[in-house]
Amino acid sequence: MSETTNQPRTAVSFVQVSAEQQGQRIDNFLMARMRQLPKGAIYKLLRTGQVRVNKKRVKAVYRIQEGDEIRIPPVRHEPEKGEVSIPQGLLNKLDSWILLEDDALMVLNKPAGIAVHGGSGLGYGLIDILRAARPNAPFLELVHRLDRETSGCLLIAKSRDILTQLHELIRNNGLMKRYLALVDGVWEGQERVVETMLQSGKKGGKRAMKVEDDGRTAISHFRPLKRFDSATLMQIDIETGRTHQIRVQSAHLGHPIIGDSKYGNHELNRAWKKKGLGRMFLHSSELAFQLPVSGRKYHCKAPLADELEVALKQLQRK
């Protein structure tokens, strides 16, 4: 049975450190494993010697080594008022989100509406759901991010070595990331390489990205797939991964993404909401890459969510 993040431990357990786990500080290792406990409680366990490594007391700065045996004591944590636990229903859905999984990594089809990290009023994110559903997994880390309302391919590394390799691929443009977006208006012409400079700023008192000459370079390849009477389905490949890159560039080009509450057309969004589309039409449809060490190749596709398919069927081809 899967553990939730506030499920108490009822017995002493012993964990042997794997090669993937070595090098972490013991306090960070415990925080990842005992997410139901506040940091203060974990430091108290170390300070009082209830957590031991190879039967010896260690300080919080100790870096665990492959083969170390860690004693983890029984603990019970009563959730504090306002503390958020992960619904069992979400844990049960996780397997249906997995598009691909092997010993090195997994690719999830992230649903719209779920943030990748907790925060901004959210008690948990997709990575927390994953770790709660896989409490014995030694290492699970996000390789990249998707906005909360963006669905589709999300890459998870199962070891620090794989995470490092994938980050290197991203830096060298070795990870193909493809999106599908429904944008307002009819796109003129064919494929365009769009290069803009993006910088963080404010919009309506909230943080937003904007096109500025002294910003950071953002490069995307926009290709029209289907033109409708009032919208265009675009395939967008990105070379850089700037915050809100596709959303800002689409709006800058005069073709905001339908359903985008931050950069889009609010009247148009309201009209689409009445038709049943209550989210942004942006979907991470494909990932393709080759791991440099093993040479293993990956190509993964995420199907459009039902509500996006329904939205397309309501449009008339131009």
Q: Pick the catalytic residue: 147, 161, 229, 237? A: 147
Closest CA to 288 of 218, 238, 225, 233: 238
- The residues, any chain, with a CB within 8 Å of residue 309's CB and separated by 6 or more, are none
Distances (CA, A) of 132 to 28, 39, 54, 141, 297: 16, 18, 27, 13, 29
Active site residue 95: no
Judge whether 234 and 258 are in contact, CB under 8 Å: no
Judge whether 257 and 282 are in contact, CB under 8 Å: yes
Distances (CA, A) of 312 to 115, 150, 186, 231: 25, 17, 14, 10
What is the chain's alpha carbon radius of gyration, rounded to the nearest angstrom?
22
According to DSSP H, which parts of the chain are helical? 26-33, 39-47, 88-97, 126-133, 160-171, 245-252, 266-274, 306-313
CA pair distance 20, 160, nearest whole angstrom? 6
Instruction: Tell me the CA end-to-end span of the chain in Å, nearest whole number.
Output: 52
Judge whether 286 and 298 are in contact, CB under 8 Å: no
Following CA atoms 112, 117, 118, 121 in sequence, which dihedral angle do they give, to the nearest 10 degrees? Answer: -60
52 secondary structure, DSSP code: E
Closest CA to 283 of 158, 164, 109: 109
Active site positions, annotated: 147
